[in-house]
Amino acid sequence: MRLVILDRDGVINEDSDDYIKSPEEWRPVAGSLEAIARLTQADFRVVVITNQSGIGRGLFNVDMLNRIHNRMVDEVHHKGGEIDAILFCPHGPDDRCRCRKPEIGLFDDLAARLKTNLNGAYAVGDSLRDIEAARAADAIPILVRTGKGLRTLARGGNALTGIAVYEDLAHFVSVLLGPGVGPAAS
């Protein structure tokens, strides 16, 4: 099975230090929706694993998160792509849960649902915790410069040794698939 795991904020959509609290605040990173469509057309399964501590902080509730995700899924679908699943952690960093990246609880849940291991799956993120979770889950970590990616590069040091870095999701997908694959190719 060909699988790409995506972080949400900073990879698919623009990130905000104030959190994305409504569908109206959700704005895609340029080229990200088309990149997901290209992955879909190339028979990759696309799954989103995202920390959403705004729920635990009381900034929005699960119903609002579902509305945000519905907008994201609809916009991806409109471009010809599919998101197979969205797994999220609602906890804050002090909750010490097993599902919040850099912990791998959601990666383990995904592997159990798919009845496979994640060895060889790509995991694209913009933060060190995304990279750490991918490594711990035996996925291939990919860092993008969008979102918090530039900050991660500046602070990452030795933790980023050997990690492939791309401008954004669209750049990663273009390199992964090469020219001529999917609807975004010219």
Q: Are 34 and 184 in contact (CB under 8 A)?
A: yes
Q: What is the largest CA-CA distance in the chain?
A: 47
Of the listed 9, 15, 130, 168, which one is catalytic?
9
- Report DSSP state, residue 140: E
Concerning whether 126 is annotated as a catalytic residue, the answer is: no
DSSP secondary structure letter of residue 182: S
Backbone angles phi, psi at 88, to 5 degrees: -135, 150
108 catalytic? Reply is: no
> Which position among 7, 15, 126, 168 bears the catalytic label?
7
Query: Residue 70: in which H helix or E strand, if any?
Result: helix 62-78
Main-chain dihedrals φ then ψ at residue 96, nearest 5 degrees: 55, 40
Contacts of 74 (CB under 8 A, 6+ apart): none
Dist. CA 162–CA 158, nearest whole Å: 9
Distance of CA 140 to the CA centre of its chain: 13
Residue type, 43: D
Note whether 21 and 59 are within 8 A (CB): yes
Positions marked catalytic: 7, 9
